[in-house]
Amino acid sequence: MAIEMDVKIELIHVPVTDVDRAKAFYADRCGFNVDYDQRVSETLRFVQITPPGSACSIAIGEGMGATIEPGRLDVIQAVIPDADAALAQLRAAGVDAQGVDEQPWGRFVTFADPDGNKWTLQQLPEWSQQARAE
């Protein structure tokens, strides 16, 4: 039986070794908004950061019970309007971004955070954008 309600992914945990370094990378170099940074206790710090225009945030921190080793996350993919512009902006901010990789299903830019967690940014192909608008 299928879920008969809206399901929205709103938070993805990204494991990091140095919270301040990761926070600076995402905020200062990638332009993400720091929504929340709170040390809840001596062993728990929660930082929520949101990419511009996204309804889904990432969480980094200490003591959050991460089950994946920092630098091993390689499954984050986000949709962007312009791969060339994204690549130029990331490189201008000092991010070692790779791309633009042209594929029939989109144009891709990739980069990693300081721990090695990998991101893929996808510009949807024209035929896909038209289908979404209809």
The kind and range of the H/E element at 130 are helix 126-133
What average pLDDT is seen over the chain?
A: 91
Q: For the residues 119-128, what does the mean pLDDT come to?
A: 90
- Model pLDDT for residues 44-100, shown as the tens digit of each residue: 999 999 999 999 999 999 998 768 899 999 999 999 999 999 999 999 999 999 999
Structural domains in the chain?
11-133 (3.10.180.10)
pLDDT at 24: 98
Q: Is the pLDDT of residue 131 over 70?
A: no
The answer to whether 59 and 48 have CB atoms below 8 angstroms apart is yes
Least confident window among 8-12, 22-26, 76-80, 127-131: 127-131
Who's near 44: CB < 8 A, 6+ residues apart? 61, 62, 63, 64
Percent of the chain residues topping a pLDDT of 70: 92
